[in-house]
Amino acid sequence: MSAMVNEKTVTCIICPAGCRIRVSMQGGEIASIKGNLCKRGENYAKDEVTHPTRVLTTTVRLEDGRLLPVKTARPIPKALLFDAVKELSNVVVKVPVKIGQVVYSNVAGTGVDVVATRSWK
Ligand code: SF4
């Protein structure tokens, strides 16, 4: 019996060309990648299909009650985004805060820092 083939379509976000890349999967393995104009797209599609990641942008509370916009310093696994948001809902940050300052480390056990995306006095 042959393994099932299924195709996933990924839109490459690496450059403005926005290639629509078709990834064929067979028995959980990548069988072919088509539609990308360059190698970077192939790598992006591979990652997107096997372990998709995203930069999380959200807010955390400041000690005075205001909300501070933050983001993860690097993309984290898409599957952990919800856990990360939940964890950050308990975080309270001291003022003042500088843009780029690490306000939380190792979010959802990813080893990735969360940084402020604006300054607050
Ligand atoms: S595959 Fe290459 S050319 Fe196409 S969107 Fe991705 S980076 Fe740009």
Is it true that the peptide bond before 69 is cis, omega within 30 degrees of 0? no
Q: What is the pTM of this model?
A: 0.75
Cα-to-centroid distance, 13 and ligand 1 (Å): 7
Residue 92 to residue 67: CA distance in whole angstroms: 10
Q: What are phi and psi for residue 78, nearest 5 degrees?
A: -55, -35
Ligand 1 atom having least distance to the Cα of 38: 2
Q: Whose CA is nearest to atom 3 of ligand 1?
A: 37
| Torsion angle of C-alpha atoms 45, 47, 48, 52, degrees rounded to 10 | -170
Question: 14 CB under 6 A from ligand 1?
Answer: yes
Residue 121: C-alpha distances to residues 47, 99, 102, 109 (Å) = 39, 11, 16, 30
Helix (H, G, I), strand (E, B) or coil at 25: strand
Distances (CA, A) of 27 to 24, 30, 31, 97: 10, 8, 9, 49
CA of 30 to the centre of ligand 1 (A): 19
Domains of the chain: 5-50 (2.20.25), 57-116 (3.10.530.10)
Give, for ligand 1, the residue of 11, 34, 38 to mutate: max count of ligand atoms closer than 8 Å to Cβ: 38
Q: What is the pLDDT along the chain (121 residues), one digit of tens a residue?
A: 556 778 999 999 999 999 999 999 998 889 999 999 999 999 999 999 988 999 999 999 999 999 999 999 999 999 999 999 999 999 999 999 999 999 999 999 999 999 999 999 9
| CA–CA separation, 22 and 66 (whole Å) | 44
